[in-house]
A and B are shown apart, each in its own frame.
Chain A
Amino acid sequence: GAVVSQHPSWVICKSGTSVKIECRSLDFQATTMFWYRQFPKQSLMLMATSNEGSKATYEQGVEKDKFLINHASLTLSTLTVTSAHPEDSSFYICSALTPADNSPLHFGNGTRLTVT
């Protein structure tokens, strides 16, 4: 089946630094990838839709200058949390659409970000 790899699985950084999270589709080309954020005991909240070769579409309330998304190739999308603050600490998950079936979406294993 389709595999989505997310890296790193966890990261700890200091306030004010930037962190990059990678999302790769390993055995298929994903023209569309999605980035979600999950707070403890809460739902998965869609942050943005990443389309290869074009600008990401951000959901309302998500700061595009803070959460930079780059989908430079058909197998890689990156989320960069810039000038991280403790309130950015969360679990970030990516998912990708496969060309063959638009659903179900295939999810990465997530990245736990802790900002100290």
Chain B
Amino acid sequence: DQQVKQNSPSLSVQEGRISILNCDYTNSMFDYFLWYKKYPAEGPTFLISISSIKDKNEDGRFTVFLNKSAKHLSLHIVPSQPGDSAVYFCAALGNTDKLIFGTGTRLQVFP
């Protein structure tokens, strides 16, 4: 049972445009959400997070939105750059220290 879902396996965006990556979760006990970026053959690197008490968190070009009622979060990257091309994982934390990852979305930013 996949508790964290990223329904789009891939996304292609032109450089300079906005990239929107989506993530849905099923467990209402999750109270902290994170986005990671991952290049091939490397470990994930942390991008941005959001607590369930907020609905938006912004850090430079990255903004994460959380809709608790819909159990949905999204990562916005604007403007998108070719170096943003990677696989993006959303992850959730509940009352344990265990991160539950989504299946990832491969973002490709083309010139």
Contacts and interface: CB of A to CB of B under 8 A. Distances in A.
Query: Do A and B associate with each other?
Result: yes
Interface of A: 4, 6, 9-10, 32, 34, 41-46, 49, 91, 93, 95, 97, 102-110, 112
The residue among A44, A102, A110 with the most chain B CB atoms within 10 A of its own CB is A44
B41 A107 contact: no
Interface string B36-48: 1000011111100
A43 B102 contact: yes
Interface residues of B, number: 21
Interface stretch (B12-20, B56-64, B69-77, B91-99): B91-99
Contacts of A109: 42-43
Nearest to B49: A104
A45 B89 CA distance: 12
B101 interface: yes
Given A43-B101, A95-B43, A109-B43, A104 B34 contact: yes
Nearest to B5: A43
B98 A46 contact: yes
Contacts of A104: 34, 36, 46, 49
A49 B102 contact: no
A112 B46 CA distance: 21
A105 B32 CA distance: 12
Contact of B93 (A9, A93, A103): A103
Given A44-B89, A103-B32, A104-B49, A93 B99 contact: no
Interface string B1-26: 00000000100000000000000000
A6 B101 contact: no
A32 B93 CA distance: 15
A45 to B, nearest CB: 8
